[in-house]
Amino acid sequence: MSQIAYEIAERTDPGRDPDKQVNEDAVVHADTPMGLLAVVCDGMGGHAGGQEASAEAIRTIVEQIKGAPAGMRAPDALRAAIVEANARVFALETSKKAGFRPGATVVAVLVHEGGAEVAHVGDSRVYLIHAGAIVQVTTDHSMVQKMVEHQLIRPEEAANHPDANKILRALGLAATVEVDVRAESIPFVSGDTFVLCSDGLSDLVTPSDILEIATSQPPAQAAGQLVDLANARGGHDNITVQVLRLRESARVSPDGAPTVVKTVPLTAAQPLPEGSSGALAGVVPPAETSGATLLAAPVGAATADAPPGVAAAPAPVPVQAPSTSVVPAPAPHAPHEARSGSRLPLIIGVAIAVAGLIAVALVVYTSQRPSHRPVELVPHATADAGEPALYDDDNDPSTPPVPVPPLGVPPLASQGVRVVPPATKVRPDPAPSAPPTDTAAPPVPAPTVPTALPTPPPAPPAPPTPPLSPTPTPTLPR
């Protein structure tokens, strides 16, 4: 079988996690009698176990493809090689020493002149870039992918879900394994690019990032930039990527026309127009995408109505997001003008309602607001410092003075009332008690108060003071 012209580059890195500095990933490409073989494996089961499992899987797959019988179909040879790799990984002695069974995921692409065969087990991925669009060819065998398919979680929740690292299939976990191999070869044209990677890259680098880098750089630089980008965003796991750019078209169409159908802009599935079929059906022209990144749906299988070797237009399917999620197709939107016109009455109604509420609030606030008016209690007038006040009665000469009567003591001495000095307390003599009688006592007339106090008698003269006699001075004897 003749070889297809291609460019290929690969890079693997342990990542930034200090606990995962032993790189358990493995990557290889090889020319075989069946075509170019590209394989990526992601080992698991401990440092020694995962590294040995991925290396054994790579070695077995290359060996089996190179030694495949003549005349064997490429898809069958690829499936048989992965099944044999599972048996050899399952039989590794490392599983008994470590106490748990090692394993590995695998994704493989076998490119020949009739197309490209894709097979995988686990959550390692293959992306196809064609005509400015990118599509995820494989579907992850993981727990979160099943949850997304059954609508238990949203696609954007898959990457951060607690079960994001749990896979449902891997090499070496059981004596047998179910391998997903595409039923039909993927036709390609010159310039198409396959990107194979482990989950250490796909968890951190989005399909749009892969599209931009892989289409703007040669394969060697693109592989390096993709790994560097994953490390810059955390590098929580081993990172492996392989970029394969084809320089020839697959010889499956007599007229050499492209046979890969691209129908999905961005990450949403877009249904094909009715009656479209054959090559390039439903192609989104670059001018209509306004520079947006295009993600295409997986390539469909050929139908009975399509020419031999030409893939018919596939049914619209969801495209997985970087976190192994499937994005459902969005409902078609009405034109922008129609949407704007339908919202205008709603906007006007809301504006009127808001204005009414503001008016009612102002009325209520005005009616409930207390009003304060200053009241002048005492009239004030300004006057000069040298002039009397206007309302000063003391300085008014027209107002005659009012005489104040002198305070006098009524002559109570003439009435027989004894005058007691203020400092002496006098208790009045008790009145003699009248003998009890059977008849009612006559009313006692009220005493009359004299109008003047009696004059006190003059004080007797003081006795004369006797003269002082001289005191004799005693003489002291000598």
Domain segments of the chain as ranges: 6-327
Asked if pLDDT for residue 454 goes beyond 80, the answer is: no
CA atoms within 13 A on the CB side of 283: 14
Asked if pLDDT for residue 74 goes beyond 50, the answer is: yes
C-alpha to C-alpha distance for 24 and 450, rounded to whole angstroms: 135
- In the block, tokens 């930034």 appear at 16
| Nearby residues of 206 by Cβ (< 8 Å), 6 or more positions away | 321, 322
Per residue in 5-38, pLDDT tens? Answer: 999 999 999 999 998 889 999 999 999 999 999 9
Cβ 199 vs Cβ 166: under 8 Å: no
The reported pTM is 0.56
For CA atoms 203, 205, 208, 213, give the dihedral sign: negative
Give the closest residue to 73 by CA, choosing from 217, 183, 199: 183
Per residue in 370-396, pLDDT tens? Answer: 666 666 665 555 545 555 555 555 555
For the ranges 62-71, 139-148, 377-386, which has the lowest average pLDDT? Answer: 377-386
Tokens coding 384: 């000069």
Q: Which 3-state string (H, E, C) describes 203-219?
A: CCCCHHHHHHHHHHCCH
| Nearby residues of 202 by Cβ (< 8 Å), 6 or more positions away | 123, 125, 322, 324
C-alpha to C-alpha distance for 79 and 77, rounded to whole angstroms: 5
Asked if pLDDT for residue 453 goes beyond 60, the answer is: no
Cβ 110 vs Cβ 35: under 8 Å: yes
- Whole-angstrom CA distances from 230 to 19, 226, 295, 386, 424 are 17, 6, 20, 96, 116
| Nearby residues of 253 by Cβ (< 8 Å), 6 or more positions away | 187, 259, 279, 307, 309, 310
* Choice between 134 and 478, residue whose per-residue pLDDT is larger: 134
Q: What is the pLDDT of residue 435?
A: 54
Cβ 217 vs Cβ 123: under 8 Å: no
Cβ 197 vs Cβ 241: under 8 Å: yes
* Choice between 308 and 408, residue whose per-residue pLDDT is larger: 408
Class of domain 6-327: alpha beta
Q: What is the pLDDT of residue 98?
A: 56
Cβ 133 vs Cβ 146: under 8 Å: no
Share of the chain above pLDDT 70, in %: 56
DSSP string, 292-306: --EEPPPPPPP-TTS
For CA atoms 15, 18, 23, 24, give the dihedral sign: negative
* Choice between 363 and 48, residue whose per-residue pLDDT is larger: 363
For CA atoms 352, 353, 354, 358, give the dihedral sign: positive
> At 254, is the secondary structure helix, strand, or coil?
coil
For CA atoms 19, 22, 23, 24, give the dihedral sign: negative
Q: Quote the mean pLDDT of the chain.
A: 74
287 band by pLDDT with thresholds 50, 70 and 90: very low
Helix (H) or strand (E) holding 243: strand 239-246
Asked if pLDDT for residue 189 goes beyond 80, the answer is: yes
Residue 210 phi/psi, 5-degree rounding, is -60, -45
Asked if pLDDT for residue 465 goes beyond 70, the answer is: no
Q: What is the pLDDT of residue 330?
A: 40
Q: What is the pLDDT of residue 416?
A: 57
